[in-house]
Chain A
Amino acid sequence: MPFHLTDEQEIVRASLRQFAETEVKPLAAQLDREHRPPLETIPKLADLGVLGMTIPPPYGGSGTDYLSFVLALEELARVCATTAVMVEVHASLVATSILRFGDQAQKTHYLPELAAGRLIGAFALTEPGAGSDAAALTTRAEADPDGFVLNGQKIFITNGGFAGVFVVLARTSPAVGPKSISAFLVDRDRPGLSVGEPERKMGIRGSSTVSLLFDDLKLPRSALLGQLGQGFAIAMSGLDGGRTGIAAQALGIAQGAYEEAVAYAKQRVQFGQPIARLQAIQWLVADMATEIEAGRCLVYQAADRQDRGLPFSDAAAKAKLFCGPMATRVTHSALQILGGNGYTEAYPVERMCRDARITEIYEGTNEIQRLVIARSALR
């Protein structure tokens, strides 16, 4: 399926390329080294309209199509995977969940703040005992006369260290099954919410990944997102679009590593010639280029299906299943081309190698993507 970007999508890509090169890339190594989120980039991303790409103009967003958003993620990840995932979780998982399932008051209250970057969103699904088996979560929201009381624990919550609002999935019925889960909008300043220390991770080290503890946290009824018992559907809906976003992140990481490898191969001289002239290197480069292009087709196709209102769960899962491992392969090939230099922090490829690996895990592991795809294929 050939892909021709619209003029607007081409300009979005060019704008994000310029922004990423000038504002994001210079920080990437430092964020990684210091395990520090790119807080200083948030106002700039908001001014550019990136944080509100999934939010319609009436709510203060720029309201682009999803493919444009995916292009933005790809360009950000090309230089800094940490910045890309911060935007992805905020604008895709959180903003689109509120947009699709929120009532008018919730949309009016939260979406303009999210678009302006005054509030950053986080999505709290995973628990110590509920990772891939998301429906096994044990965090409880028990109804009381004023609303709900939330108790439980979440882990690996991206953006959690500085998010102002959390979409929290919790069990509202002891019954087994997806309809026993509901979604809530939890403001950071609610008494009863404790935020844990950031995880020390292998990659995307600048991304804030924390645990959350809810201890008799009281929520008004107005904090319920969607209908009672609709939480699992909200989570799965968010994750579908999110998977395309993470696939785009993986694609961008791969593209960045590929460009580093090509540039290095052209200037690195061994045996009296640039190593780009050696067939061993050429074959690596050819495979990398082919894999990236294949991944790009899958990612853009998934985003395009979403834009056209077509079912896209299967396409998003395929894009993520392909692009995650692809990014791992491509970044490792890039490191191989850079040799000893690639193994050092003097070059960004070692960081890209570490960053790529998570794209095979979060927002659904490779194995979960296969489950989604197989269910669709064998339906």
Chain B
Amino acid sequence: MRIVVAHKWAADPQEAVVGADGAVDWSRARPAVSEYDAVAIAVGRQLADASGAELVGLSVGGPTAAAPLAAKAALARGLDSALIVADPALAEADSAVTAQVLAAAVTELGQVGLVLTGDCSVDRGARLTPAVLAGWLDWVCLAEVSAVRWDPTGLSLERESDGGWQSLTLSPPAVLALAAGAVYPPVPGMKDVLAAARKPIRQLDLGQLGLELIRAPLLLAAAPAPAPDRRGVVIDAMDPALAAAELVARLSHDGLTWEGRP
């Protein structure tokens, strides 16, 4: 059996700059394996080790997805092999298109029992790809999976959300979107980095998949910036007493101190 982890080579949010107006400047952010997808790879590694399955990384995107660095960075996190579908037509692919291509690649791979994804993509964050992918494959999809392990009847899952906690069992095949906190993904070790260079990487384009893309119905033109939750006020701390007094005065002004106890 194969376990596939869908991962994205996307701009690293750690290097994005948030302006005073809330706009995010991605221009200087270098790409990296999405931190959400690193969780999925780590969980996939555990499941593959427990079952003897092959762990295959699957990434879909424009030409940048074909960079050897992109595949090696994912392989260093524990994948056994990588399949890259890179095509200029996929450079701005949205969730629907990405899911369609992922489904075609999963079918092309064959013998896939499980597809794991991260909680969402770091750049778009739509949380749609797993469900649409499952739809294309006609498989079960579960999101916000916080724990997963093999048991004698199939997979045993846990899901946590604001609404509560669930314990489920299901039989593969399935698409599972891992919650961001499902595991703490380990930092790739030096041996993993060197081993990644020796792992197989296969690359396909849309023509080789024989795929005609659906029209993208989910184009995201703009997202409103969230309301600022910080005022950017910096209190000079050279004199601790004055700094404390100023802090208390500001909190009092905003009604954030108890009455009579400024």
Contact = CB atoms under 8 A, between A and B. Distances in A.
Contacts of A22: 187
Nearest to A267: B234
A95 to B, nearest CB: 14
A47 B190 CA distance: 9
Interface stretch (A4-12, A130-138, A324-332, A348-356): A4-12
Interface string A203-246: 00000000000000000000000000000000000000000000
Contacts of A52: 190
Interface of A is mostly: helix
A14 interface: yes
Interface string A59-75: 00011100010000000
A125 interface: no
Interface stretch (B52-60, B69-77, B122-130, B140-148): B69-77
B76 A11 contact: yes
B190 A62 contact: yes
B189 A49 contact: yes
Contacts of A68: 190
B50 to A, nearest CB: 21
Nearest to B193: A11
Nearest to A9: B193
Given A7-B197, A8-B197, A64 B69 contact: no
A47 B193 contact: no
Given A7-B68, A11-B69, A53 B190 contact: yes
A19 interface: yes
Contacts of B73: 7, 10-11, 14
- Size bracket, chain B contacts: 20 to 34
Interface string B185-224: 0011111111011000000000000000000000000000
A47 B189 contact: yes
Interface in B12-33: 32
A8 B72 contact: yes
Given A7-B197, A11-B76, A14-B73, A19 B68 contact: no
A15 B188 contact: yes
Interface in B142-169: none
Contacts of B72: 7-8, 11
A222 B32 CA distance: 49
B232 interface: yes
B225 interface: no
A346 interface: yes
Interface in A48-92: 48-50, 52-53, 57, 62-64, 68
Contacts of A53: 190
Contact of A11 (B188, B191, B237): B188
A48 B189 contact: yes
Contacts of B227: none
A30 interface: no
A49 B187 CA distance: 11
B232 A15 contact: no
B237 A10 contact: no
Interface string A114-139: 00000000000000000000000000
Contacts of B241: none
Residue among B192, B194, B196 with the highest chain A CB neighbour number at 10 A = B194
Contacts of B238: 340-341
A269 interface: yes
A48 B32 contact: no
Nearest to A266: B17
Contacts of A47: 189
Interface of A: 7-8, 10-12, 14-15, 18-19, 22, 47-50, 52-53, 57, 62-64, 68, 267-269, 340-341, 344, 346
The 6 closest A-B pairs by CB, nearest first: A49-B190, A62-B190, A7-B69, A49-B189, A19-B187, A15-B188
7 contacts: A14-B32, A15-B187, A49-B191, A53-B190, A62-B190, A267-B232, A341-B237
Interface of B: 32, 68-69, 72-73, 76, 187-194, 196-197, 232, 234, 237-238
